């Protein structure tokens, strides 16, 4: 397989200007490269593998099994319904924008940008996908993955905050550095990062889309963690808007008194059961108990996690 020339452009680009400016080139329409055949580790299975063109920006058709997800991918949740819609579109029109990949030493390709297209292509039954391969270091790979998702509005606020935190912790970035890379104001980056200080229960609600970033910002202004959690549940139960939540928080004293009330014995017992279930199942569990009746809500965030929960419940 031919080698890929690393990018020689020493200039730091503002990622907010688009992937094209990041790569320092225009992505050409997909073309059919010369192909060779490699033997797959699976018995008797052969895979057509593209020999990448000499021009580094020209897309190549590569067998889909040679691509794998970026472990630093900031996006953790993929909406199944939207993925199915994209898969249906790909069946008809193919993949219009090539997947950006980084070749590894084993002859495979780590996805830098385009994991959703890759997943949808697998669902559609494609054997080959168009890719543009570029040598990238870990920092640039993470930056590109973040900015692609941000530009497509694919990250939920919690994923975006964790992605910024990755840049800060792994590469010693300041908030200004992050803001410069993603093309946002420093204050915006700082506000997104603040959601990581919320209670874990509230973070999960934000990640699942049950509360909005606007709700989260209001809750961040509430110092009492008990009140924070009560308000988060009230947002869902009463379908509160951000404005309604702000009015509720403005009451202040009433909420403080409510939070300081001694818990009932049944609440203590229910909480203990809830905590045991969460430890056993490895996910968030809510118990809505009222005089001997109620319901148990078990949260899951991927199909794999759902299967694991079902397996664990069957063993209880």
Share of the chain above pLDDT 90, in %: 18
Whether the predicted pLDDT of 129 surpasses 90: yes
Identify whether 115 is a catalytic site residue.
yes
CATH code of the region 15-151: 3.90.1530.30
Whether the predicted pLDDT of 29 surpasses 50: no
Confidence of residue 24 (pLDDT cuts 50, 70, 90): very low
Confidence of residue 254 (pLDDT cuts 50, 70, 90): low
Q: Mean pLDDT throughout 112-120?
A: 86
Instruction: Tell me if 46 sits within 8 A of 40, measured CB to CB.
Output: yes
pLDDT of residue 266: 53
**Closest Cα to residue 4, out of 44, 36, 51?**
51
Domain regions of the chain by residue span: 15-151, 157-195, 212-260, 265-315
CB proximity list for 59: less than 8 A, separation 6 or greater? 27, 28, 29, 30, 31, 98, 130, 131, 132
pLDDT of residue 50: 42
Whether the predicted pLDDT of 32 surpasses 50: no
pLDDT of residue 2: 41
Whether the predicted pLDDT of 73 surpasses 90: no
Phi, psi (5° rounding) for residue 282? 70, 30
- Residue of higher predicted confidence among 291 and 131: 131
- HSE value, Cβ hemisphere, 13 Å, CA-based, for 214: 8
Catalytic residue among 115, 148, 160, 204: 115
Whether the predicted pLDDT of 145 surpasses 90: no
Which tokens in the block code for residue 193? Answer: 């990062």
Confidence of residue 16 (pLDDT cuts 50, 70, 90): very low
pLDDT of residue 11: 38
pLDDT in tens, 41-64: 444 444 444 444 444 566 889 999
Confidence of residue 196 (pLDDT cuts 50, 70, 90): very high
Number of CB atoms found within 10 A of residue 147's CB: 24
């Amino acid at each position: 397989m031919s080698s890929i020339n690393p990018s020689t452009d020493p200039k730091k680009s503002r990622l907010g200007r688009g992937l094209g400016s990041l790569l320092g080139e225009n992505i050409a329409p997909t073309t059919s490269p010369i192909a060779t055949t490699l033997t797959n580790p699976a018995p008797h299975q052969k895979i057509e593998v593209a020999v990448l063109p000499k021009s580094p920006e020209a897309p190549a058709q590569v067998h889909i099994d040679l691509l794998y997800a970026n472990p630093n991918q900031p996006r953790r949740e993929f909406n199944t319904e939207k993925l199915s819609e994209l898969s249906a579109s790909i069946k008809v029109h193919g993949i219009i924008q090539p997947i950006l990949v980084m070749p590894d030493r084993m002859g495979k390709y780590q996805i830098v940008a385009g994991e959703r297209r890759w997943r949808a292509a697998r669902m559609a039954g494609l054997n080959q996908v168009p890719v543009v391969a570029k040598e990238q270091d870990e920092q640039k790979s993470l930056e590109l993955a973040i900015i692609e998702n941000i530009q497509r509005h694919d990250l939920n606020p919690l994923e975006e905050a964790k992605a910024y935190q990755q840049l800060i912790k792994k590469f010693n970035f300041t908030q200004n550095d992050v803001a410069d890379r993603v093309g946002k104001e420093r204050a915006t980056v700082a506000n997104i990062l603040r959601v990581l200080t919320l209670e874990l229960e509230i973070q999960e609600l934000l990640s699942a889309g049950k509360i909005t970033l606007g709700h989260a910002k209001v809750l961040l202004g509430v110092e009492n963690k008990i009140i924070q959690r009560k308000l988060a549940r009230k947002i869902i139960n009463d379908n509160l808007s951000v404005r309604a939540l702000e009015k509720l928080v403005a009451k202040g004293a009433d909420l403080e008194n409510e939070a300081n009330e001694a818990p009932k014995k049944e609440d203590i017992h229910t909480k203990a059961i809830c905590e045991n279930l969460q430890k056993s199942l490895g996910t968030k569990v809510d118990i809505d108990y009222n005089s001997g009746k109620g319901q148990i809500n078990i949260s899951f965030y991927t199909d794999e996690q759902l299967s694991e929960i079902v397996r664990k419940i069957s063993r209880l």
